[in-house]
């Protein structure tokens, strides 16, 4: 770890002194509950979850399930409304609006920039190399006394590759602020999660989500893994009942169905191999970038026009040609085998009219 890292010095003053909202369920969660102005008569739905009652503020049971799955302690886990909530909380905890800065490494996931803009935090960009790896020295050179967060996305969106572990470790060791590793796609890669490095790096925050490998984008369940001290601050700042009961129940059920999750991951990886192979056979495809995610970035002649024509065939992919180092690229999410066949049918018709 960086010998100069001091968490308490990084936390904004107003957050350190914040007295968090105390919800009714902090003190008692059973008995005759006349404390929270809920509708004691119930909801109009037939439900087993008692949806007329507020959810548990700290989601201990769900956090324990996730902690066991990722082999960490429950006090290393925060759950929120998608990873996007965790990203926003990190800004609010660490970054003074109008004063502090972050570093991002484009091309990368767009929410870091949006969240920085919302929070009025300046952004320093250090581009990835042409093979989409970190320029570690340049990143450390770009650090100023006001740089609070460095975001690393691995596997990276939209490029799909994993970032070299030794480069991430160089940042964790060389930067006195917080290094956030967004592992939204980690379960599609053969890399180990940095979650098992939490003990060694108190400045590490790992982001994960149930939106990708778990197939639960609709429930909005994001996860941050970090030291108990950082997690405490996240708990202090979050909205009191951020994770609702329907989401929590669906997430708990998913952890009872891990075989299905594994099956889905294997099948996506198999299709990924097939698509890469087939794309590589097309003369118009200049390059297929390596993928550790559930999507593939590839370079093709006239990408923008192909993107539009695919849409006319009802196939929606993402044009990424405006991103640095991504000229003429499309990002394709791995679909079902049938959807992938339909993508190739449409692409072949466009290329050979
Ligand atoms: C790298 C990365 N992080 C986070 C997210 C969003 O995760 P969530 O659905 O948990 O907000 C995405 C979604 O595309 C992503 O690509």
Listing DSSP states for 298-317 in one string gives EEETTHHHHHHHHHHTT---
Tokens of 307: 């993107």
The angle subtended at Cα 233 by Cα 6 and Cα 202, nearest 5°, is: 35
Question: How confident is the model at residue 25, as a pLDDT?
Answer: 79
Q: For residues 211 and 218, what is the distance between their CA atoms, to the nearest angstrom?
A: 7
Nearest by Cα to 249 from 28, 35, 47: 47
Strand partners, 147: 101
Q: For residues 140 and 126, what is the distance between their CA atoms, to the nearest angstrom?
A: 10
**Residues with a CB atom less than 6 Å from ligand 1:** 82-84, 109, 153, 157, 182, 184, 209, 211, 217, 222
Give the number of the atom of ligand 1 that is nearest the alpha carbon of residue 221. Answer: 10
Per-residue pLDDT of the chain (353 residues; tens, 9 = 90+): 667 899 999 999 999 999 999 888 788 888 999 999 999 999 999 889 999 999 999 999 999 999 999 999 999 999 999 999 999 999 999 999 999 999 999 999 999 999 999 999 999 999 999 999 999 999 999 999 999 999 999 999 999 999 999 999 999 999 999 999 999 999 999 999 999 999 999 999 999 999 999 999 999 999 999 999 999 999 999 999 999 999 999 999 999 999 999 999 999 999 999 999 999 999 999 999 999 999 999 999 999 999 999 999 999 999 999 999 999 999 999 999 999 999 999 999 999 99
CA-closest residue to ligand 1 atom 11: 82
Which distant-in-sequence residues (6+ apart) come within 8 Å of 65 by Cβ?
A: 251, 252, 255
Tokens of 209: 């989500």
Question: How confident is the model at residue 28, as a pLDDT?
Answer: 84
CATH class of 7-26+54-256: alpha beta
Ramachandran bin of 309, using left for φ above 0, alpha for ψ from -120 to 50, beta for the remaining angles? alpha
Q: For residues 272 and 334, what is the distance between their CA atoms, to the nearest angstrom?
A: 6
Confidence (pTM): 0.97
* Dist. CA 185 → ligand 1 center (Å): 8
Hey, is 77 helix, strand or coil?
A: strand
Pocket test for ligand 1, best of 211, 215, 331 (most atoms within 8 A of CB): 211
* Dist. CA 113 → ligand 1 center (Å): 13
* Dist. CA 157 → ligand 1 center (Å): 9
Tokens of 202: 């108190």
Question: How confident is the model at residue 1, as a pLDDT?
Answer: 60
Give the number of the atom of ligand 1 that is nearest the alpha carbon of residue 211. Answer: 9
Hey, is 318 helix, strand or coil?
A: strand
Domain ranges for the chain, please list them.
Answer: 7-26+54-256, 259-351
* Dist. CA 282 → ligand 1 center (Å): 30
DSSP 221-254: -EEEE--HHHHHHHHHHS-TT-S-HHHHHHHHHH
CA-closest residue to ligand 1 atom 2: 184
Q: For residues 241 and 64, what is the distance between their CA atoms, to the nearest angstrom?
A: 17
Domain 259-351 maps to which CATH number in 3.40.50.720, 3.90.1150.10, 3.40.50.300, 3.30.420.40?
Answer: 3.90.1150.10
Rg from Cα positions in the chain: 22
Nearest by Cα to 340 from 270, 263, 261, 264: 270
* Dist. CA 283 → ligand 1 center (Å): 32
Pocket test for ligand 1, best of 156, 184, 251 (most atoms within 8 A of CB): 184
CA-closest residue to ligand 1 atom 6: 83
Question: How confident is the model at residue 29, as a pLDDT?
Answer: 84
């Amino acid at each position: 770890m960086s010998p100069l890292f001091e968490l308490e010095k990084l936390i904004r003053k107003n957050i350190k002194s914040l007295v968090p909202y105390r919800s009714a369920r902090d003190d008692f969660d059973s008995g005759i509950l006349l404390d929270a102005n809920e509708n004691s008569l119930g909801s109009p739905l037939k439900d087993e979850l008692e949806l007329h009652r507020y959810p548990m503020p700290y989601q201990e049971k769900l956090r324990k399930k996730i902690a066991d799955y990722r082999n960490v302690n429950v006090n290393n886990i925060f759950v929120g409304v998608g990873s996007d909530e965790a990203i926003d909380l990190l800004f609010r905890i660490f970054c003074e609006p109008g004063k502090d800065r972050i570093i991002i490494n484009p091309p990368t996931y767009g929410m870091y920039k949006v969240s920085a803009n919302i929070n009025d935090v300046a952004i320093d960009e250090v581009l990835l190399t042409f093979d989409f790896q970190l320029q570690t020295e340049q990143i450390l050179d770009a650090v100023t006394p006001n740089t609070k967060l460095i975001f690393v996305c691995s596997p990276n969106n939209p490029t799909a590759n994993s970032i070299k572990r030794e480069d991430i470790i160089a940042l964790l060791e060389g930067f006195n602020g917080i290094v956030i590793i967004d592992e939204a796609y980690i379960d599609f890669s053969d890399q180990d999660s940095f979650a098992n490095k939490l003990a060694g790096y108190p400045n590490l925050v790992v982001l994960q989500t149930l939106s990708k490998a778990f197939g639960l984008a609709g429930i909005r369940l994001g996860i941050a893994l970090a030291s108990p001290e950082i997690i405490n601050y996240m708990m202090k700042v979050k909205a009191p009942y951020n994770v609702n009961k329907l989401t929590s129940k669906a997430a708990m059920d998913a952890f009872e169905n891990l075989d299905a999750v594994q099956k889905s991951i294997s099948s996506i990886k198999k299709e990924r191999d097939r698509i890469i192979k087939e794309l590589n056979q097309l003369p118009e495809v200049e390059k297929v970038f390596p993928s550790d995610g559930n999507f593939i970035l590839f370079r093709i002649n006239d990408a923008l026009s192909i993107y539009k024509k695919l849409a006319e065939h009802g196939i929606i992919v993402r044009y990424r040609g405006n991103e640095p180092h991504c000229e003429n690229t499309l990002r394709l999410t791995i679909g079902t085998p049938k959807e992938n066949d339909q993508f190739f049918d449409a692409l072949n018709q466009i290329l050979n009219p």
